[in-house]
């Protein structure tokens, strides 16, 4: 089929979910370069304030504010979302459920091109007079609501527009994910035979769709405040700055789980495959993530303990926040239990999955400090918070995505990645990541505030200079380490060993078709006989048992 479509329809304006997934992946990786570049400039300025950053030049305070704003925006909305949700979700959901494509292939194409448009708009915002948005990735008004406060004009409007487009894109994608998984599962593939990653993608899509509405409304209100003189968030016209914070975080906290769950799903799947062992407590893991997903709607004000909300409101939110650790603790304990009595192979994918788990636990534990309202009085808006959320987000967005890429690369591109380079990439990333972010907690505990361009302007922060220099050096090394991945990625793409159908001897359906799968995915619709994690099952002589392999006994496909 694809042969007849020609270059444009098969490679650019394609409706094939696999091509769309790769498009999201490419754009997400491109934005990751931008995110890394902004991180480099931010770190340079903090460690060596008001000196020329090699390869760039001086970083003025207003430019610095733009850097921190765009770093957050890019990493959350233009790297994490397109890679974890859109790329992996698009690629894996149809293949894992035995479907030919998404339920709405054209809608799928539209969602990518809307996201592409969002990317163009965000990129354009760097080049308009006044520069890109500089009010923080959270865009708190009144700072974000009036040009006179930041000097940023169209940059801020385009920022809002880019976010609105991106949300529209992911709403389209979410509808597609859910419809596809509900209606197009292969015969025998019941809900509780779905891989955990599919469950997590679906839960993430539901959380996203339920939470994003208020923020879209908020974005429109903020745009109106800026463009036509309304005062929704401006007190001089009777508006309320805190309203934006509620709308933003009502979305913003669930959004954390929208990013987290797909990453966690990758970790669960990869760990099961390379442990040759079923996922421990498969069903309760799914229940736990759904519970955590819904709890994520009642924790948002923990971002606002000291924002001026009624202090009596803090404790209820502090309690829900700390209690949300329970379902996640369940998932984490279960993943650890999966390793118990396993038979573990340390592939690059497995190393990244284990690294993701280890790093995420650290971030989850430091979250307890932030969730405690009295401790938050002191650490709010300090580098402790920055260090904390990099542990939670970097673990899934980078360690998780790398685990997924090393694991599914053969299926995506039909070639194997270089394992040795992959392992070097892991160790460099793991070491330098911790070298950046462990000391960053200490910097935060000494009181260093977020988003200040020059800590040397403060007497009490001056002693932190050597520590900040160490962090910056480690951050540069962390960035440089990613060159190993880039080389491996492109070399494997061009000259990697041809991948067989199932190089990891995994059970799920995507491994039963060619690498890469043809247009339409499967030669014949597979029938499913069991759950996705029947590794080392006594029913099989080997240590794996694919979902679609009938056993000779009277077991037949359900439905």
Partner 1 sequence: MLNWFPENVSTFGGEVDGIFWLIFYITTVWFFITEGLIVYFAFRYRRKPGEKAAYVLGNTTAELAWILVPLAIVVVLDLWIDIRGAAVWANIKGERPAADITVRAMGKQFNWEFTYPGPDGKFGTEDDLKIDNDLHVPVGKVVHVVLTSKDVIHSFFLPHARLKQDVVPGREIPAWFQISKPGEYEIPCAELCGFGHSGMNGKLYALSTEDYEKWVKEKWPPEK
243 touches partner 1 (CB under 8 A): no
Residues 106, 191, 283, 500: which binds partner 1 (CB under 8 A)?
A: 283
Interface with partner 1 by CB under 8 A: which range of 78-86, 448-456, 469-477, 506-514?
448-456
449 touches partner 1 (CB under 8 A): yes
* Rama region for 101: left / alpha / beta (φ>0; ψ in -120 to 50; rest): beta
d(CA 78, CA 24): 10
Closest distance of CB 148 from partner 1, Å: 9
The 3-state DSSP class for residue 207 equals: helix
User: For residue 496, what are the CA distances in angstroms to 414, 418, 490, 500, 514?
Assistant: 9, 7, 9, 12, 16
CB nearer partner 1, residue 82 or residue 141: 141
Residues 169, 201, 366, 488: which binds partner 1 (CB under 8 A)?
A: 366
93 touches partner 1 (CB under 8 A): no
Interface with partner 1 by CB under 8 A: which range of 35-43, 305-313, 389-397, 417-425?
305-313
With the CA atoms of 78, 200, 357 and 343 taken in that order, what torsion angle do they form, in degrees rounded to the nearest 10? -130
| Cβ atoms 332, 361 nearer than 8 A | yes
The 3-state DSSP class for residue 277 equals: coil
Residues 6+ apart with CB under 8 A from 228: none
Helix axes 314-323, 325-339, angle to 10 degrees: 10
Q: What residues between 17 and 36 interact with partner 1 by CB under 8 A?
A: none
CB nearer partner 1, residue 242 or residue 491: 242
Name the DSSP letter for residue 311: G
Q: What residues between 455 and 514 interact with partner 1 by CB under 8 A?
A: 457-460
Q: What residues between 524 and 543 interact with partner 1 by CB under 8 A?
A: 535-538, 543
With the CA atoms of 39, 41, 43 and 48 taken in that order, what torsion angle do they form, in degrees rounded to the nearest 10? 180
Kindly write out the interface string for residues 333-362 of this chain, putting x where it contacts partner 1 by CB under 8 A and - elsewhere.
xx-xxxxxxxxxxx-------x--xx--xx
Closest distance of CB 252 from partner 1, Å: 16
Q: What residues between 156 and 175 interact with partner 1 by CB under 8 A?
A: none
CB nearer partner 1, residue 230 or residue 325: 325
Interface with partner 1 by CB under 8 A: which range of 9-17, 86-94, 200-208, 321-329?
321-329
Tokens for 540, please give them.
């099989």
CB nearer partner 1, residue 162 or residue 342: 342
d(CA 147, CA 134): 11
The 3-state DSSP class for residue 498 equals: strand
Helix axes 348-371, 325-339, angle to 10 degrees: 150
Closest distance of CB 107 from partner 1, Å: 37
368 touches partner 1 (CB under 8 A): yes
Residue whose C-alpha is closest to residue 292's, from 367, 216, 383, 369 = 367
| Cβ atoms 15, 534 nearer than 8 A | no
CB nearer partner 1, residue 94 or residue 142: 142
Closest distance of CB 370 from partner 1, Å: 10
Closest distance of CB 160 from partner 1, Å: 17
Residues 126, 240, 414, 435: which binds partner 1 (CB under 8 A)?
A: 240
323 touches partner 1 (CB under 8 A): yes
Residues 124, 128, 210, 375: which binds partner 1 (CB under 8 A)?
A: 375
CB nearer partner 1, residue 112 or residue 280: 280
Closest distance of CB 249 from partner 1, Å: 14
One-letter-per-residue 3-state SS of 500-549: CCCCCCCCCHHHHCCCCCCCCCCCCCCCCCCCCCCCCCCCCCCCCCCCCC
Closest distance of CB 41 from partner 1, Å: 15
Residues 58, 149, 427, 490: which binds partner 1 (CB under 8 A)?
A: 149
Residue that the structure tokens 């309760």 belong to: 284
438 touches partner 1 (CB under 8 A): no
Closest distance of CB 143 from partner 1, Å: 4
Q: What residues between 123 and 142 interact with partner 1 by CB under 8 A?
A: 134-136, 140, 142
378 touches partner 1 (CB under 8 A): yes
- Count of residues that interact with partner 1, criterion CB under 8 A: 97
Closest distance of CB 195 from partner 1, Å: 15
| Cβ atoms 437, 443 nearer than 8 A | no
CB nearer partner 1, residue 41 or residue 102: 41
Across 190-210, b (16+ Cβ under 10 Å) vs e yields eeebbbbbbbbbbbbbbbbbb
């Amino acid at each position: 089929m694809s042969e007849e479509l020609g270059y444009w329809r098969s490679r650019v304006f394609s409706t094939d979910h696999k091509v769309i997934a790769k498009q999201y992946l490419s754009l997400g990786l491109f934005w990751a370069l931008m995110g890394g570049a902004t991180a480099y400039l931010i770190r340079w300025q903090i460690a060596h304030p008001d000196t020329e950053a090699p390869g760039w030049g001086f970083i003025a305070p207003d430019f610095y504010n733009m850097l921190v704003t765009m770093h957050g925006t890019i990493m959350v909305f233009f790297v994490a979302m397109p890679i974890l949700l859109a790329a992996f979700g698009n690629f894996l959901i149809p293949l894992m459920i035995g479907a030919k494509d998404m339920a709405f292939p054209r809608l799928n194409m539209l969602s990518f091109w809307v996201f592409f448009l969002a990317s163009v708009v965000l990129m354009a915002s760097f080049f308009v007079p006044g520069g890109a948005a500089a009010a923080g990735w959270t865009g708190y008004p009144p700072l974000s609501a009036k040009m006179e406060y930041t000097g940023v004009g169209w940059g801020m409007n385009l920022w809002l527009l880019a976010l609105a487009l991106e949300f529209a894109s992911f709403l389209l994608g979410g509808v597609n994910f859910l419809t596809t998984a509900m209606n197009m599962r292969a015969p025998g593939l019941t809900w509780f035979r779905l891989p955990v990653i599919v469950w997590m993608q679906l839960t993430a899509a539901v959380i996203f769709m339920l939470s994003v509405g208020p923020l879209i409304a908020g974005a429109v209100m903020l745009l109106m405040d800026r463009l036509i003189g309304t005062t929704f968030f401006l007190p001089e016209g009777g508006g309320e700055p805190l309203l934006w914070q509620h709308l933003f975080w009502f979305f913003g906290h669930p959004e954390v789980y929208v990013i987290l769950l797909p990453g966690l799903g990758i970790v669960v799947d990869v760990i099961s495959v390379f442990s040759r062992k079923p996922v421990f407590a498969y069903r309760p893991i799914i229940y736990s993530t759904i519970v955590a997903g819904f709890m994520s709607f009642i924790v948002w004000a923990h971002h606002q303990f000291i924002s001026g909300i009624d202090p009596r409101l803090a404790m209820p939110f502090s309690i829900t926040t700390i209690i949300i650790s329970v379902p996640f603790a369940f998932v984490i304990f279960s993943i650890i239990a999966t390793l118990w009595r396993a038979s573990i192979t340390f592939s690059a994918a497995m190393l990244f999955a284990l690294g993701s788990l280890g790093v995420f636990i650290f971030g989850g534990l430091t979250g307890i400090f932030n969730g405690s309202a009295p401790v938050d009085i002191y650490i709010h808006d300090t580098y402790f918070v920055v260090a904390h959320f990099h542990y939670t987000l970097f673990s899934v967005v980078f360690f998780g995505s790398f685990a997924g890429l090393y694991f599914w690369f053969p299926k995506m591109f039909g070639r194997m990645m270089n394992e040795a380079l992959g392992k070097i990439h892991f160790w460099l990333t793991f070491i330098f990541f911790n070298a950046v972010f462990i000391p960053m907690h200490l910097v935060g505990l000494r009181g260093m505030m977020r988003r200040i361009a020059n800590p040397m302007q403060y007497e009490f922060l001056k002693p932190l200079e050597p520590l900040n220099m160490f962090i910056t050096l480690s951050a540069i090394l962390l960035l440089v380490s990613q060159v190993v991945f880039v080389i491996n990625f492109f070399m494997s793409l061009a000259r990697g060993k041809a991948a067989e159908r199932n190089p990891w001897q995994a059970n799920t359906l995507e491994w039963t078709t060619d690498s890469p799968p043809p247009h339409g995915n499967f030669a014949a619709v597979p029938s499913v006989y069991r759950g996705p994690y029947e590794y080392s099952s006594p029913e099989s002589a080997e240590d794996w048992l694919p979902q679609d392999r009938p056993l000779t006994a009277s077991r037949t496909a359900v439905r």
